[in-house]
Structure 1
Amino acid sequence: MVRAAVFLLLALSLAACGARQHITERKGRIITLTDTILDTGGTDTVRFGRLHSGETAVLRLWLANDAVRPVAVTKYERSCGCTTLEYVNQPIKPGEAQQVTLTFDTRGERGWQLKTLDITFAGARKPLRLFVEAEVE
C-alpha cells in the first residue's frame, strides 16, 4: 500500500514537471495589450533598422494580452502595400501571448521610411497603431 502511494506521488510529480515544458519562451519584441489600449487605442513603433532596397525584412513580434478579456486580431489596415502582418485568428487569453509576423518589402523604397499599420481587435473600440520605421539604402 505504501509502495503504491509513493509510486502515485512520484508519477504526479513527474507529470507536473512535464507540464512545465509546454511553456513557450517569448523571444523577440513583445507588444502588451491592456484594457486602456483596447478602449482608447494606442501606438507603438517597430524599427527594422538599416535595410537594402529590394530586401524583404521579417520581424516576429508577440502580442501579450494583459487585458481582463480575451482578444483576437480581426483585421489590419496599412498605409503601404509594402507591409504585411501574418497572424492566427485565435483569441489570446488574458495572461497569454500570440506570435505575429511583420514583413516589410523594401522594393522601390529609398531613404527613411515611416509606415503605419492599424491592428483591429475583436471587441476593441480603437485599433492599435504600429509605426513601422526603416532606413532603406
Structure 2
Amino acid sequence: MKNLKITALLAVIAFSPFYANVFPVEGTSLIKAVAEAIKWKSESIDVGNIPQGKPKLIRFEFTNTSSKPIIIENVAPSCGCTAAKYSDKPIQPGKIGFVEASYNAASPGAFVKTVNVTTSDSKTPKTLSFKGTVVASK
C-alpha cells in the first residue's frame, strides 16, 4: 500500500510541469477569442406590434472582426413559422454579413422566436431572438 501511494505521488509530481504549460496563463480565454470574431449589431430585436397574416422580416447584421473570412454554415429557426435566409458568400474581415428571419404571424398574441446560427468560426450555435405582439386583423 505504501508503494502505491509513493508511485501515485511521483506520477503527480512528474506530470505537473507538463500541465503547467497547457493552460493559458494570461487572462485571455478561448471563449472570449471566439466571441470577438463576430460582432452582432443586435442579438435580440423587439419588432413591436405586427399585423396578423402578414410575414414580418427581421434582419440581424454582424461584422467580421477576425482576420480570416467567416462562412455561415447553418441557420436553424426555432419553428416552422419562421423561414431564414443569410449571407451565402464568405464574409471577409471587416465586412458585414446578415441573417434574415421571416416570421409568418398566423395567430394573435405575444411571441418570442429564436434562430440558431452556426459559423465556420465556432461550432457552437449563436442564438438570436426576436419578439413582439401579433395584432388580430379586423
* TM class, shorter-length: 0.5 to 0.7
- What is the Cα deviation at residue 99 of structure 1? 3.7
Which structure is larger by alpha-carbon Rg, 1 or 2?
Answer: 2
Larger RCO of the pair (alpha carbons < 8 Å, separation 6+): 1
Q: TM-score, normalised on structure 1?
A: 0.63
Unaligned runs of at least 5 residues, structure 2:
1-31
Q: 1:125 aligns with which of 107, 116, 123?
A: 123
What percentage of aligned pairs have identical amino acids?
A: 23
Instruction: Say if 1:44 and 1:100 are closer, same or farther in 2 by CA, change over 3 A.
Output: closer
CA distance in 1, matches of 2:36, 2:55: 30
For each residue in 1:21-56, what CA deviation from the matched residue of structure 2 results, as whole angstroms up to 9, or x when unmatched? xxxxxxxxxxxxx843278xx992122211121111
What SS class does the counterpart of residue 36 from structure 1 fall into? helix
Report the number of matched residues: 101
CA distance in 1, matches of 2:53, 2:79: 15
Q: Does 1:98 align with 2:78?
A: no
List structure 1 segments (4+ residues) > 6 angstroms apart after TM superposition.
none
Match of 2:66 in 1: 67
CA distance in 2, matches of 1:51, 1:104: 10
CA distance in 1, matches of 2:127, 2:55: 21
CA distance in 1, matches of 2:58, 2:101: 5
Q: Given that residues 35 and 68 in structure 1 are in contact (C-alpha distance below 8 angstroms), is that contact kept between their aligned partners in structure 2?
A: no
Aligned-residue Cα RMSD (Å) equals 2.5
CA distance in 1, matches of 2:60, 2:121: 22
Q: Given that residues 86 and 99 in structure 2 are in contact (C-alpha distance below 8 angstroms), is that contact kept between their aligned partners in structure 1?
A: yes
Match of 2:79 in 1: 80
Q: TM-score, normalised on structure 2?
A: 0.62
Q: Which amino acid counterpart does residue 116 of structure 1 have in structure 2?
A: T
Match of 1:135 in 2: 133
Q: Which amino acid counterpart does residue 47 of structure 2 have in structure 1?
A: F
Q: Which amino acid counterpart does residue 87 of structure 1 have in structure 2?
A: Y
Instruction: Answer with 127-136 or 66-75: which moved more.
Output: 66-75
